[in-house]
A = this chain, B = another copy of it.
Amino acid sequence: MMLTNLISKRETEHKRKYPDVELIRLGIGDTTEPIPEIITSAMAEQALALSTTEGYRGYGPEQGNQELREAIASTVYKDLGVEWEEVFISDGAQCDISRLQMLFGSGVTVAVQDPSFPAYVDSSVILGQAGGLDEHTCRHANMVYMRGLPENNYFPDLAKTPATDIIFFCSPNNPTGIAASRSELQQLVDFARKNGSIIVYDCAYASFISDESPRSIFEIPGAKEVAIEVASFSKFAGFTGVRLGWTVVPNELRYATGSPVIMDFNRIVTTCFNGASNIAQAGGLACLSKEGQEALRSRRERYRENAEILLEAFKSLGGARAYGGKNAPYVWVEVPREGRGSTPSSSRRSGWELFDEILERSHIVTVPGIGFGPGGDGYIRVSAFGHRGHILEASARLKALLMP
């Protein structure tokens, strides 16, 4: 990714300039806490079983092992009436997003939150849905950008949003860390129903929700007729390198022709995918056991506390506004040049300026918000997925900063 390259280039330059300084990386949203042993043991056992005649397994179903599909349906979607046949096991949310894009094809119109996780736009570009990029506005001609603003909880103004075939919606949102409320999601579902849109609901951070915000789009009445949910073990269980996720395509979701979307997705999965690793799937099953869930809870709590520490540290910067942290381990920060109060564009720092200033003065790597869409400019995203020691050190450095 271009952005990653630009960030590493600046990192390298910084290390050359300050060879003795310890850099703290709060950029990429990568997990750092070990996976609970009850889960890794299950994977090790599955791996060893593959060297025995009784335990050896070859191809599994492309849609995933039934046991894991059932466990997801009965634990994650306990009271939501999701059938195990509607759950497709994947090797991660990002991979399923592009498999969904293959399902939709190049002839659809697509809306994304602005800011949001760049994989939606990037995969739209690859499929040929996006249209040309305007270098000045950083927008693709054929994409609909649903701008989020802090005063609206980063929920888009749907009254001003044109109808599209597909709506990518990420909650809790990456990068803002903000979860949509129940009434906001109800508006979104109603909007999609009215327009005949399909919502691709990315809830990769759902397990971090600490308030009453819905953890699944299927908590919203009517959602099964308009939404696909993409979920992941990556952040939930530290499986970023193990690779495991799932996607729910409800039987109720139909094209305008009446034909069920699940049949087409099944075709994509059986043609373009051959199932997630059986070892990772054994790990997923252990995550959903009572003991696994218990072990993961404290791990998640740790990241959440990290986010609180960072949120507080950024809020201490003169004039800074910091969002998120409560329902996802991301903090989303804006620091106007002129101190507290309004931020007319003359006094705004661009995201890169803020990135550079924080890097230069506190040796902390973040991500400039522009990487998440034009609406992200002026912000940085800070990841709370680091080790506690680094988070505390970052907090101390930030608190010592006096932003002009």
Query: Which A residues lie at the B interface, using CB under 8 A?
Result: 1, 28, 30-37, 39-41, 43-45, 47-53, 55-60, 91-92, 94-95, 98, 102, 105-106, 119, 122-123, 126-128, 238, 240-243, 267-268, 270-280, 283
| A50 & B30 in contact (Cβ 8 Å cutoff) | no
* With contact pairs A33-B56, A102-B102, A238-B58 given, residues A243 and B274 touching in the complex (Cβ less than 8 Å): yes
| A58 & B126 in contact (Cβ 8 Å cutoff) | no
Interfacial chain B residues near A128, Cβ < 8 Å = 105-106
- Interchain nearest-CB distance for A6 vs B (Å): 14
Residue with the highest number of chain B CB atoms closer than 10 Å, among A40, A127, A283: A40
| B31 & A51 in contact (Cβ 8 Å cutoff) | no
CA distance A232 to B92 in the complex (A): 20
| A31 & B58 in contact (Cβ 8 Å cutoff) | yes
| A51 & B56 in contact (Cβ 8 Å cutoff) | no
Residue with the highest number of chain B CB atoms closer than 10 Å, among A33, A59, A238: A59
CB contact between A106 and one of B31, B40, B106, B238 (< 8 Å): that residue:
B106
* With contact pairs A242-B277, A277-B279 given, residues A51 and B37 touching in the complex (Cβ less than 8 Å): yes
- Interchain nearest-CB distance for A102 vs B (Å): 6
Add 4 more A-B contacts to A1-B271, A41-B51, A242-B279 (CB < 8 A).
A34-B55, A41-B47, A44-B47, A58-B238
| B47 & A40 in contact (Cβ 8 Å cutoff) | yes
Interfacial chain B residues near A243, Cβ < 8 Å = 91, 274-278
| B34 & A56 in contact (Cβ 8 Å cutoff) | yes
CB contact between A98 and one of B28, B242, B272 (< 8 Å): that residue:
B272
* With contact pairs A91-B274, A279-B277 given, residues A59 and B30 touching in the complex (Cβ less than 8 Å): yes
Interfacial chain B residues near A127, Cβ < 8 Å = 102
